[in-house]
Amino acid sequence: MNLKEKITEDMKAAMRAKEAARLSTIRLLLAAMKQKEVDERVALVDADVLSIIAQYEKAARQDLADAEKAEIAILQAYLPQQLSDAEVAEAVAAAIRESGAAGMKDMGKVMGLLKPRLAGRTDMGRLSGLVKAKLQG
């Protein structure tokens, strides 16, 4: 699936989920993409789509790009602080000790302890991989 198709699918998902802000942003992006296709009589490839997404900076509209970055910084203040790799490794080691895990058969026990403690503070896929590596080796 190319980027244009993914954006279209995300728009449909936002419509179904009634995510108004996300839907509005995606529709603006799709409109800009369609405009470029019509103006230049081309089918956009991923690189073209990425250039549209970064258009504020490329158009020397640093004020708008800075405003978007400031909005992102404000919103990130509400997200949980992400744990460092060392903190995640320590949490994994502690959960393995607490559960008495002895091998891969105990991965569910370890993940059961870690998920409520680390949810939103680390990537669960990365966490699962780290637990698996610790239990195998």
User: Per-residue pLDDT tens for 20-60?
Assistant: 878 887 888 888 889 999 999 998 888 788 777 777 666 66
Which of 56, 76, 96 delimits the end of a domain? 76
* 52/98 same-domain check: no
- Give the DSSP per-residue string, the chain: --HHHHHHHHHHHHHHHT-HHHHHHHHHHHHHHHHHHHHHT----HHHHHHHHTHHHHTT-HHHHHHHHHHHHHHHTTSPPPPPHHHHHHHHHHHHHHHT--SGGGHHHHHHHHHHHHTTTS-HHHHHHHHHHHHH-
Is the Cβ–Cβ distance between 3 and 46 less than 8 Å? yes
The rounded distance, in Å, linking the Cα atoms of 1 and 74 is 32
* 30/47 same-domain check: yes
pTM value surpassing 0.75: no
Is residue 127's pLDDT more than 70? yes
* 109/58 same-domain check: no
> What CATH number has the domain bearing residue 106?
1.10.10.410
* 72/89 same-domain check: no
Length of the chain equals 137
* 9/45 same-domain check: yes
Among 70, 3, 15, 97, which Cα is nearest to 114's? 97
Q: Which range marks the domain in which residue 32 is found?
A: 3-76
Confidence label for 17 from pLDDT (cuts 50, 70 and 90): very high
Count the domains in the chain.
Answer: 2
Is residue 9's pLDDT more than 80? yes
Confidence label for 77 from pLDDT (cuts 50, 70 and 90): low
> What CATH number has the domain bearing residue 47?
1.10.1510
Is residue 71's pLDDT more than 90? no
Torsions phi, psi for 22 (to 5 deg): -65, -45
For a pLDDT cut of 70, what percent of the chain falls above it? 85
Per-residue pLDDT at 56: 60
* 70/22 same-domain check: yes
Confidence label for 13 from pLDDT (cuts 50, 70 and 90): very high
Which of 45, 76, 107 delimits the end of a domain? 76
* 58/109 same-domain check: no
* 71/92 same-domain check: no
Per-residue pLDDT at 112: 92
